[in-house]
Structure 1
Amino acid sequence: MALQEELKQQGDFLFKYRSYIPILLIFIGLGVQVYQIKTYGDLESNTVGYWLQQLALSTGILGLLVRVFTVGYTPKNTSGRNAKEGQVADTLNTSGIYSLIRNPLYLGNYLMWVAVAMLTGNIWFVLLFTLGFWMFYERIIFAEETFLRRKFGEAYLNWASKTPIFLPKHFNYQKPSYSFSWKKVIKKEKNGLFALFLLFWIFQLLGDYVKTGELEVNPTWQAYGALATGVWYLIIKVIRKNTSLLNEEGR
């Protein structure tokens, strides 16, 4: 098999399971956190640890906001969590944040996941995660771009030639072609904030257990955040399943 076909095959596979594979980060990261605490002590007990947590939380929320801004301005069957169906694109997104970078959702994903990696307090793990993330998404992006090139032809090539993959090189922002849809954001991104706070809480619980030898649920901001966003997630899930309140034509 030629390298291009092999990369595309790998990318198609990773695309379908891209929501599950990063879960490995959680288990590896938890192991790294245990090692850090046993070797270097508790980060949370000093100022550096406190500000590291705040930086991680801010990074994760920034990633979620990037996803919200991206999804809110896009039409149906683009920029979504379409893992089961494989590659789907009824139209080519080139306006809004897509006028700055080609893969804003993956930038948002990186920021959210690297925030979790930062909770370990281990810079080497963060760097290795970043390298692994790039290798993982490089193949997904290759498969996506192969699909988009075949479907949209010259229009895609013209857009791709002047728009960077991941980080903006210019700020020639073009106004989005669609109005912002909070309904689509709530429907599609309902689990992002919950997942972020839940992971922060899991890391906090494990850290406390390693330090004290007891699993205690204390009234921390991580616990309150996970509880509040978990309730929000369940409410939206029930609304979406039993009503058409979040439905919107073409979105």
Structure 2
Amino acid sequence: MALTEQMQGQGTWLFKHRGVLPLIIFVIGAGLFLKNESSPENWILKEEIQHYLYELCCLFVSFIGFFIRIYTVGYSRPNTSGRNTKQQVADELNTTGIYSIVRNPLYVGNFFMWLGIAMLTGNFWFVIAFTLFYFLYYERIIFTEEEFLKNKFGETYLNWAKKTPIIVPRFSSFVKSEYSFNWKKVLRQEKNGFAALMIIFCMFDIAGELIKKQPNINETLQSFGIFSVLAYLVLKFIKYRTKLLQDPF
């Protein structure tokens, strides 16, 4: 089998199962986090306030990724930048807005979201390993997606790809999006990610305090967690019981 066909086959499989990556990160990260919490002498940050601020710093990193996703989804064309896993879908080619400075903004957003979680472990080598694994994992997916776009959009895609970086943004090439921001699409698609992110942070925080037998819960994190769950339930109800989140086209 040719290397190109092999990479495309691997990319297709990884695209369909890309939800597995968060589970791998969560399981390994949770184990390392619990190990560190049970051995506080291994932590560089000794004071409780330092732990508190570090958790908020990790949350901030994850929020950077989440807001990148919000911006990308909100300004993307209809039937693009979705959460589909069965097959590649792109009715049109996104080339303006954030897509004018980087070709894969959603994967950049995902990286920062999961980087914040990886940082929670307090394990420097795990953060490095996660970063390397993430880019190796998504390399095949990006290759497969770009083959799909090249075959579908031809020269239009090639001309855009020549001037737009794959993963590191070139801010000087920014072109304003031709679409208005679509809050309905954002609320439909991103409610799951927001709730999952906050639940993970809350679980890590509670587990750490239980291990240390210190009921000093990070109230800021827990407030975000409760809000995310309530928002998810409300938006889920609105989505399936009303037409408020449906697009007019």
Paired residue for 1:226? Answer: 225
Q: Which residue of 2 aligns with 1:97?
A: 98
Offset from partner CA, 1:134-191 (integer Å, 9 cap, x none): 0111111011001001101111111001100111134221111211111111111112
Contact 2:105-2:167 at 8 Å conserved across structures: yes
User: In the alignment, what sits opposite 2:236?
Assistant: 237
Paired position in structure 1 for 2:16: 16
- Cα deviations across residues 115-148 of structure 1 (Å, max 9, x unaligned)? 0001001111111000010011111101100100
Q: Which residue of 1 aligns with 2:73?
A: 71
Partner of 2:247 in structure 1? 248
Distance 2:230 2:123 in 1: 32
Between the aligned partners of 1:243 and 1:20, the Cα distance in structure 2 is 32
The 2-side partners of 1:177 and 1:44 are apart by 50
**2:31 corresponds to which residue?**
31
Equivalent position of 2:109 in the other structure: 108
Checking the alignment, whether the CA contact within 8 Å between 2:102 and 2:166 is kept in structure 1 is yes
TM-score normalised by the chain length of structure 2: 0.93
Structure 1 residue 55 corresponds to structure 2 residue 54: no
Counterpart Cα distance in 2 of 1:246 and 1:159 = 32
Higher helix share: 2
* Shift in CA distance, 44/107, structure 1 to aligned 2, threshold 3 Å: farther
- Contact kept in structure 2, 1:33 and 1:120, CA below 8 Å: yes
Q: Once the 2 structures are TM-superposed, how far is the Cα of residue 74 of structure 1 from its aligned partner?
A: 1.3
Q: Counterparts of 2:68 and 2:108 in 1: how far apart (Å)?
A: 8
d(CA) in 2 for partners of 1:228 and 1:196? 12
Gaps of 5+ in 2: none
Q: Which amino acid aligns with 1:32?
A: L
Question: 2-side partners of 1:217 and 1:30: how far apart?
Answer: 19
Identity of aligned residues (%): 45
For 1:44 and 1:203, the matched residues in 2 are separated by 18
Q: Give the whole-Å Cα distance in 2 for the aligned partners of 1:35 and 1:12.
A: 36
State how far apart, in whole Å, the 1-side matches of 2:217 and 2:37 are: 19
* Cα distance between partner residues in 2 of 1:179 and 1:4: 38
In structure 2, what is the equivalent of residue 119 of structure 1?
120
- Give ranges in structure 1 of 5+ residues lacking alignment: none
1:193 alignment counterpart:
194
What is the aligned partner in structure 1 of residue 83 from structure 2?
Answer: 81
- Flag the 1:54–1:219 CA change in 2: closer, same or farther, 3 A: closer
CA contact (8 A) 2:98 2:105 kept: yes
TM-score by length of structure 1 reads 0.92
Distance in 2 between the 1:231 and 1:151 partners?
41
2:8 maps to amino acid: K
- The answer (yes or no) to whether the contact 2:72–2:105 under 8 Å persists in 1 is yes
Structure 1 CA distance, aligned partners of 2:218 and 2:31? 24
Structure 2 SS opposite 1:204: helix
Give the Cα separation in 1 of the matches to 2:152 and 2:28.
Answer: 38
Q: CA deviation at 1:6?
A: 1.1
Instruction: Name the SS of the counterpart of 2:12 in structure 1.
Output: helix
Post-superposition Cα deviations, 1:91-125, rounded to whole Å, max 9, x if no partner, equal 00000000000000000000000000010011111
CA distance in 2, matches of 1:45, 1:142: 45
User: 3-state DSSP class of the match of 1:229?
Assistant: helix
Which amino acid counterpart does residue 148 of structure 1 have in structure 2? L
Q: How many residues align?
A: 247
